[in-house]
Amino acid sequence: MNAAPSRPQTAPNTLYALRRGFGLWELTFGGRTAILRDELGLRYVACLLSRGSAEPIPAVDLLGLAAGLRASAPNGGGWLPGSGEQETVVQRSSRFDDRETLKGLAGRLRELQVILDDDNEIEPVKAEARVEFEELCTLRHRRVLRTADQAQLAMDGINKALRRFCRRLATACDARGRPHPVLRDFSEHLENCLLLPARRFLGSKQKYRGGSYDYRPEPPIRWVVE
């Protein structure tokens, strides 16, 4: 990744910022600035930095935020949602549908359980309730598996984009071919405050905890993302 050299920051009171332009982002890190071209991993990072110390965000929700960020770029900026982003929005909508379905199933299962536990209920009614209860348990199991599959696919895509982006930062050079101090420092920061805390090792496989992403630097850093 060849990037423009650092230059005096444009906003004197802003030490940490990401600002979108036309296919480019201006990074201010520790008061020093650099220019980055737009890419998927950077959009995921921007979404996470903009949330500050909010609760961890599920992978599928992060996909949706990044797609919305691309679609709302300043003046379009040449960034129109491609098929990948459209598919992400569909997946996110499907996830919410599954969530509502699971909530409805849980409510109905509780109602049926009350009938089955009622000693005063007649047996024909209990028999019907038992059949429906078993059918709904099967449906709920399938829905849970579908939601888990979507989360895993989302995680895989985000992980690859984040790792690719951080690798580029870690090897970035300035216009003279020297290691870029701002981008390499930013890469180290993301590795320590985003990637490393999120990982856990299961055997030889590297996975992200709970399918969610979190950014919590110490001490807290206030980012401006616009």
- CA 43, CA 29: separation in Å to the nearest integer? 16
Beta pairing class for 212-213 and 224-225: unpaired
For residues 161-187, average pLDDT: 94
Under the banding of pLDDT at 50, 70 and 90, the label for residue 109 is: confident
pLDDT at 217 (0 to 100): 87
Consecutive H or E run containing 33: strand 32-37
Supply the DSSP symbol for 23.
S
Cis preceding linkage at 181, omega within 30: no
Segment 113-157, tens digit of pLDDT: 888 888 888 888 888 888 888 888 877 777 766 666 677 778 888
- CA 18, CA 79: separation in Å to the nearest integer? 17
- CA 64, CA 70: separation in Å to the nearest integer? 10
Q: 28 or 84, which is more confident?
A: 28
pLDDT at 140 (0 to 100): 74
- Three-state secondary structure call for residue 173: strand
- CA 163, CA 199: separation in Å to the nearest integer? 12
The proportion of the chain whose per-residue pLDDT surpasses 90, expressed as a percent, equals 27
Supply the DSSP symbol for 217.
-
Under the banding of pLDDT at 50, 70 and 90, the label for residue 183 is: very high
pLDDT at 207 (0 to 100): 45
Are the C-beta atoms of residues 87 and 63 closer than 8 Å to each other? no
Consecutive H or E run containing 15: none
Q: What share of the chain is helix, strand, coil (3-state, %, to 5)?
A: 60, 15, 25
Average pLDDT, the chain: 76
Consecutive H or E run containing 118: none
Under the banding of pLDDT at 50, 70 and 90, the label for residue 195 is: confident
For residues 16-37, average pLDDT: 93
Q: 71 or 164, which is more confident?
A: 164
Question: Distance of alpha carbon 52 from its chain centroid, rounded?
Answer: 14
The proportion of the chain whose per-residue pLDDT surpasses 70, expressed as a percent, equals 69
pTM: 0.64
pLDDT of 60 higher than 70: yes
Are the C-beta atoms of residues 52 and 198 closer than 8 Å to each other? no
Under the banding of pLDDT at 50, 70 and 90, the label for residue 97 is: low
Q: Which residue has the tokens 């995680």?
A: 155
6: left (phi > 0), else alpha (psi -120 to 50), else beta? beta
- CA 130, CA 28: separation in Å to the nearest integer? 62
